[in-house]
Amino acid sequence: MADVRPLRALRYASEKISDLAQVITPPYDVISPAAQTKYYERSPYNIIRLELGKEEPSDNTLNNVYTRAAATLAEWRLQGILQQDAAPGYYLYQQKFAYGG
C-alpha cells in the first residue's frame, strides 16, 4: 500500500506575483532554445531559471546551471517571491495527453 503524506508546498507569493502565466513554463524537456529565451525575457521570476538554466562558456564545477539555480531559489525565498505553505497539505496534479491519436 502507498504511504501518501501531505507536504508544505513552495509556491509563488500572490502578493508578489499577480499573473502566474508570466512565471510558469512547460516541462523542461519540451522547451526549445527559442522558447527558453522567451521565458527568460517574460519575467525575472520565471521558473525557467530553476528548471532549465542557460549554460555559459565559463561554467565550471562552482558556477554552472545547477549552482545558479540553487542561488536563485535561495534568493527568491529570501525576497518572498516563493513561500512555503504554513501547513502541510495535499495538492491535486493533473495531466491530459493523447495517445495514439
Domain-embedded: residue 69: yes
Q: How many domains does the chain have?
A: 1
pTM of the complete model: 0.84
Examine residue 5 and state whether it is found in any structural domain, yes or no.
no
**Sequence-separated (6 or more) residues with CB below 8 Å from residue 83:** 10, 11, 12, 13, 77
pLDDT tens per residue across span 8-33: 999 999 999 999 999 999 999 999 99
Write out pLDDT tens, residues 55-89: 999 999 999 999 999 999 999 999 999 999 999 99
Structural domain of 68: 10-84
